[in-house]
Structure 1
């Protein structure tokens, strides 16, 4: 649990404190500046992570699951109006897009900051930092297809050692300079802000680096549970982080020249090279956690209809959540390598880091306001008293990072904006597509009622028609009748319904109704954290007294060919983008795990 949940925030001492102090290093660092930055970091950890996420946000779980999309679905349930629900969806999509932007930067800055410790060990290693970092990152992404079982076995022990070591190093230094404990008073943070005004505001853009990864506490709640995450944070992770930051501050009070790298200089010389290896292992774990999180969010986006079908490979026979998504993995790898080669050091990357994280903070707070007010019944004054200060803190972090856009903050914004356009285009395109299907198709009840009077020839076998509109005749069936003039003796109309909950109980998974002799409608429900398997579900229909012989079944799928309508309802560039995404989507046979040798595809022209 420690590595998955706290890998990102646990490696922030490598760069957060130093990056914040660099803003004030031109004319030397004074003691009150060190104490002010330390106070800002520690109170940010307390307010953002402990109060906001651990105490408050983690109360809002979607049947045990957390994360921005789970919170979005909770908020949508409390809203009736179509426009309001769409606005909530936009907030959730924005948060998910920013999460992906964060997912590209986290591995880059974490691994780079760890390997830069080699320069502290010996200046001769300076030119080796970049190639070693790139090699580690490439290796990490290349082995993803094998799953996280092997590297996961290292997560717990390595992170226990990591937090123990960094806490102990900080404690040793803090004992030598106990005056640093004054930073625990918020007075120094307030005094720092008053004396520096705008400069203090700019520093907040680096202070937020200490709380990156806070969203992981909430996102991973479904895997580990609320209580273990809270216990680990309050009694192990937070004390270790606070001790290390205080130790770095104590070192700066004693020796301002330690600004070169206060984290590694905390360690005695003989321990620095082993500490580099330990830090590298910890940052690999932090990167792995973010990569796994990107897979999870990616699958949720597909299931919720925000992205086209993507390939999902299960890397464990026993754990449903252990998945590998090759398209997302490839994009992350390319993005991470480009970032490392472009920015070349962690100080430069720190300018790009933060805006995605703080944007997600804001999205989470807005959605939480809706959930706590409407679902939990909190009064308006209570909601305002709790969330207004937290929102002001989030906005302070966000605006402070906006100032870093010219220095590199544009990277996650470009990535997030591109993904936002893709997701909203796909969602809009699917809405128009289904509306066109309903307009051009026949109501299923009317067709079934007229079937006995028709002269349709019934032939032996089983036909399975996949349709997204359960109440309308699938276009594939109409085309099959038009060209082949036959209907199978047994017909299944199968509709997959994606629910706004993580997991659907088995007793609610399937719903079967007989529309006519030999003709059944099957509704199969999946949560946004599940992967569909249609043949397996159809074989399970024996529980309802409906026999299904897999070797006699043929699956009929419609392949849509999109054309522009006389009066297009999407702009031309969005039509092109939607068409490109549709053409590159994973085939339905692979996504639904349908045997490819039993599939019949019929082309359908659709004007939108």
Structure 2
């Protein structure tokens, strides 16, 4: 019943961004660039920013059988450096972030842009939709692991300081995570202002520790030479590719950076990454490598053992705060992807709270928040350590990165005429790099990698079922649909009894007779004195300047469109009351009755989807948030007329 309406002026300005990435940009009202950079540091880079806690340690875990000698350490560091440069810096931050959909990023936005470049209803557009939804599902599958592994790895520093505190690690991690998810209702803007300075201190500390350790073994700086990465594969043969299953831990968060673009905009994120986050990360990785070159035994926990003994307890506190922020990056990314999935019709309507007057992307979705919290805490309790979780981490995010590359190639070819000559050739090495990461992580499926895959497949099934079910439901309703003009002409030939008052019929299709009206005539055999066909449009601007559009279509029938900005509370009765002030028709709230149709889904065999999917869709449809409650229609003025629909 609520459609997303894009004003022509806003759409025209934003369409330029889609057609040519040279025209990037994102509106953020009066928030200064520096404030957005600080906020981005506090929210966007938490995931990738806490990877130094465990990446180097996991690369030398017994799972990979590597020995911490000079050549191997430099080879692994070189792989980490060039993965950050090619995958995160070049692919995501420099190129893919130019593919924004009305300021929003993430795989759903990229999918929408790719589909826009293909013939509507074509097999290619269908396959792009499948890829995008599958990638989004995998993003959630790996995303729920990030908070668990990040917080656990930070709290595990207690074992370095006092091994007897081992049994406190899991309970403390659960408490920290529960507090983080409970704070989401305050919004990413407020969270970013709090977390920004903390994360800034975190990255500065990473850099300082890295410099101190590098001074002991400056030889480690040679790792920036890509020949050390090539030599690593030469020394370890074809099976050396499996080390990418650990190297990928350094780049997890690249997709989250793109997904969180709608929260702060591309420019603040780029500035923060190029000039602050990336240098701090690489200096710390090189510092850990220098420590291991000096003392190979430090590989058991090179991050915390690289901290002076007097500073380890404060470092545990700071690392825990930083990993809370790492979780924040994934949570806000989850909100962004879920909102886009709702707009594209892949998941049922959920309650969305906008937490900023300046930026449409800063939102809070309670249902997503609490679902992620339950899964994350279950992971902490189930796996029990960051090392165990590392075996489950990476495969889904690798698949998502590969899908991003394929979608990027489609978008660049169709929508970027001035940039595709150099973007398309780069997609070839991106593809093989992502494929190598996916292959390496595939070896971890039996060791725990099955979890994000199962979660991703489950979500993919639910999303595709909702999308297909909505299409089947719409087709069934349209079979009985009547064109409004034809219906009204025929109705007036033999008019039914009129009763006092105004009837408002909610409808998403302005040209078709609402089912609620048909059922009202069928069962009550009366019409009200005035009948209004109401459609609600949600704009992509904070506030609607022109609220109502009222069109008389004859014999006291009216077609009304109400527009709300994304920051406004969609109060339909209040908007109708104010129509008289704007020169429209007066609606007496005590004399107005709202009619809405609510379908009950009946699963049947040999029609549409398999019966088990029909039943899942029926369950999702039954529990979707009703539009009437969303639009603040009072229950004592509402009549819902339902009907069974077989699919």
Change (3 A) 1:169 1:435: same
Change (3 A) 1:159 1:440: same
Provide the residue aligned with 2:149 in structure 1: 109
Aligned to 1:353, the other structure's residue is in SS state coil
Superposition pairs of residues 167-566 of structure 1, within 5 angstroms: 167-314=207-354, 321-377=361-417, 382-496=422-536, 506=544, 512-523=550-561, 534-535=572-573, 538=576, 545-547=583-585, 549=587, 551=589, 552-565=591-604
Change (3 A) 1:202 1:182: same
Aligned residue among 94, 98, 105 for 1:66: 105
Change (3 A) 1:306 1:592: farther
How far off its partner does 1:459 sit?
Answer: 2.8
Instruction: Tell me how many residue pairs correspond in the alignment.
Output: 606
Contact kept in structure 2, 1:36 and 1:183, CA below 8 Å:
yes
1:235-281 deviation digits (Å, cap 9, x = unpaired) = 11000000000000000100111111101111100100000000101
Change (3 A) 1:508 1:368: farther
* Whole-angstrom distance in 1 between the partners of 2:285 and 2:360: 38
* Whole-angstrom distance in 2 between the partners of 1:508 and 1:312: 23
Contact kept in structure 1, 2:542 and 2:567, CA below 8 Å:
no
Contact kept in structure 2, 1:137 and 1:337, CA below 8 Å:
yes
* Whole-angstrom distance in 2 between the partners of 1:445 and 1:181: 76
Question: Does residue 11 in structure 1 map to residue 50 in structure 2?
Answer: yes
* Whole-angstrom distance in 2 between the partners of 1:12 and 1:322: 25
Contact kept in structure 2, 1:300 and 1:529, CA below 8 Å:
no
Aligned residue among 86, 110, 120 for 2:126: 86
How far off its partner does 1:488 sit?
Answer: 2.3
* Whole-angstrom distance in 2 between the partners of 1:307 and 1:389: 34
Aligned residue among 117, 128, 136 for 2:168: 128
How far off its partner does 1:554 sit?
Answer: 2.4
Aligned to 1:546, the other structure's residue is in SS state coil
Length-normalised TM-score, structure 2: 0.88
Contact kept in structure 2, 1:303 and 1:528, CA below 8 Å:
no
How far off its partner does 1:532 sit?
Answer: 5.6
**Which shows bigger deviation, 196-205 or 512-521?**
512-521
Aligned to 1:308, the other structure's residue is in SS state coil
Change (3 A) 1:463 1:174: same
Change (3 A) 1:392 1:120: same
How far off its partner does 1:95 sit?
Answer: 2.0
How far off its partner does 1:148 sit?
Answer: 4.8
Aligned to 1:556, the other structure's residue is in SS state strand
Aligned to 2:44, the other structure's residue is in SS state helix
Contact kept in structure 2, 1:459 and 1:488, CA below 8 Å:
yes
Change (3 A) 1:558 1:25: closer
Change (3 A) 1:320 1:594: farther
Provide the residue aligned with 2:177 in structure 1: 137
How far off its partner does 1:343 sit?
Answer: 1.0
Aligned to 1:455, the other structure's residue is in SS state coil
* Whole-angstrom distance in 2 between the partners of 1:133 and 1:27: 30
How far off its partner does 1:420 sit?
Answer: 0.6
Contact kept in structure 1, 2:357 and 2:542, CA below 8 Å:
no
How far off its partner does 1:153 sit?
Answer: 3.0
* Whole-angstrom distance in 2 between the partners of 1:526 and 1:306: 22
Provide the residue aligned with 2:8 in structure 1: none
1:157-200 deviation digits (Å, cap 9, x = unpaired) = 10110000011100110011100001000000111122213432
Q: Which runs of 5+ in 1 are unaligned?
A: none
* Whole-angstrom distance in 2 between the partners of 1:79 and 1:511: 33
Contact kept in structure 2, 1:115 and 1:132, CA below 8 Å:
yes
Contact kept in structure 2, 1:88 and 1:367, CA below 8 Å:
yes
Aligned to 1:461, the other structure's residue is in SS state strand
How far off its partner does 1:413 sit?
Answer: 0.8
How far off its partner does 1:84 sit?
Answer: 2.4
Aligned to 2:60, the other structure's residue is in SS state helix
Change (3 A) 1:416 1:123: same
**Which shows bigger deviation, 559-568 or 22-31?**
22-31
Contact kept in structure 2, 1:115 and 1:280, CA below 8 Å:
yes
* Whole-angstrom distance in 2 between the partners of 1:259 and 1:287: 25
1:556-599 deviation digits (Å, cap 9, x = unpaired) = 11121122457412211111111111112122223334333332
How far off its partner does 1:221 sit?
Answer: 2.4
Aligned to 1:229, the other structure's residue is in SS state helix
Change (3 A) 1:291 1:25: closer
RMSD: 2.6
Contact kept in structure 2, 1:252 and 1:262, CA below 8 Å:
yes
